[in-house]
Amino acid sequence: MSWHTYMLFIGASLVLCLVPGPDMLFLLGRTIAQGRAAGLCAAFGINLGAYIHLLAAVTGLSALVLASATAFTVVKFVGAAYLVYLGWGRVARERRIRAPGEQWQESAKACLLAGISQRRAKPEGGSVLHCTTASIHERA
C-alpha cells in the first residue's frame, strides 16, 4: 500500500470514528428522553444486535445473503417492512398529545428490544463482519 493510500485510509477512518452514527444518536436520544437506565438498556440491546450480526457472519449466513442478489433484496425489503411496522406501532400507541414537560417512559424490555432492532435493521453490519471473519479464517 502506498503512503498516499494509507493516509487517505487514516483520514477516512478518523472522520468515520468522529461522526456519530445512527446507533449513537439512538442511544443519546433514549438517554436524554428517558434517563440513564433506558440508555443502558438501549446500549445493551445495540450490542446484542451486533452479536446477532456476528453469529450470522460466523455461521456463513452473511456470506449466503451477500452471494445472492435476490436474498439480499429480500432481506432489505423485510427490514424495510419491519421498520414500517415499528413506525406504525409507535404512531398507533402515541395517539394522545403529551403535556409539556410530561415524560415518555418505556419499560426496560422495550428499550432493550428497540436497541436490538436498531442494530439488526442495518444490513451493512453483516457484510462488514463477513469480510472481517473471512479474512481471519483465511489467515488461520
Residue 5: what residue type? T
pLDDT profile of the chain (140 residues), mean per 10 = 83 80 84 87 87 79 77 80 78 64 69 77 56 49
Task: Provide the pLDDT for residue 91.
Answer: 75
The full length of the chain comes to 140
pLDDT value of position 133 = 47
Q: How far apart are CA 39 and CA 133, in angstroms?
A: 30
Q: What is the pTM of this model?
A: 0.58
DSSP 8-state assignment for residue 107 = -
Q: Are the C-beta atoms of 110 and 42 separated by less than 8 Å?
A: no
What pLDDT is stored for residue 103 in this prediction?
A: 59
pLDDT of residue 105: 66
* pLDDT for res 26: 83
Please state, in angstroms and rounded to a whole number, the distance separating the CA atoms of residues 30 and 111. 8
